[in-house]
């Protein structure tokens, strides 16, 4: 290793990683929104099909959240390579926790709906933080 530090290259790599993380978060938010819609159908007179669709969407959302977590970890690692820009940390630990729930019955449906809404809130918060960091990084390039 020659000790050469290319800040512009490191910032560009972090931006690419942040854009991937943001895209993953947006996909997770879309899936959570779809799960929420099916959850409402299931609560208000749904049937076996609506229950199946809700669970399928919850599973899809869970996978998207896992992808987002992975992309956020890569983003955090890329941010760690940047030496001279303050305030770029992304907290991953305990963030974006989302569990699959496979319950039936009215009360369980309401419980699942609440968890979906909480997941959507967490994803939106993560999106906002990633966007803030990306704006900071882009400002350093221009």
Answer whether residue 113 is part of any domain: yes
Angle at alpha carbon of residue 58, lines to 24 and 23, rounded to 5°? 10
Range of the domain at 131: 7-141
Average pLDDT over residues 4-11: 86
Answer whether residue 1 is part of any domain: no
Answer whether residue 32 is part of any domain: yes
Answer whether residue 31 is part of any domain: yes
Please give the model's pTM, rounded to 2 decimal places: 0.74
Among candidates 130, 141, 128, 123, which has minimal Cα distance to 34? 123
Residues 13-46: tens digit of each pLDDT: 999 999 999 999 999 889 888 888 888 887 788 7
6-10, 50-54, 90-94, 103-107: which has the minimum mean pLDDT? 103-107
pLDDT at 27: 93
Could you give the number of structural domains in the chain? Answer: 1
Answer whether residue 11 is part of any domain: yes
Residues 78-133: tens digit of each pLDDT: 988 887 776 666 665 555 444 333 334 444 667 778 888 888 888 888 899 999 99
Answer whether residue 108 is part of any domain: yes
Answer whether residue 2 is part of any domain: no
**In whole angstroms, what separates CA 84 from the centre of its chain?**
27
Among candidates 128, 102, 126, which has minimal Cα distance to 115? 102
């Amino acid at each position: 290793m020659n000790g050469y530090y290319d800040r512009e290259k490191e910032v560009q790599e972090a931006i690419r990683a942040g854009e991937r993380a943001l895209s993953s978060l947006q996909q997770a938010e879309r899936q959570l929104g779809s799960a929420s819609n099916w959850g409402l159908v299931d609560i208000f007179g749904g049937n076996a099909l609506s229950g199946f669709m809700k669970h399928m969407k919850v599973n899809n959302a869970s996978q998207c959240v896992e992808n987002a977590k992975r992309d956020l970890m890569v983003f955090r690692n890329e941010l760690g390579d940047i030496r001279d820009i303050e305030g770029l940390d992304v907290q991953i630990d305990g963030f974006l926790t989302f569990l699959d729930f496979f319950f039936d019955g009215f009360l369980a449906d309401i419980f699942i709906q609440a968890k979906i809404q909480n997941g959507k809130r967490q994803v939106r918060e993560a999106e906002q933080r990633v966007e803030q960091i990306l704006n900071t990084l882009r400002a350093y390039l221009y």
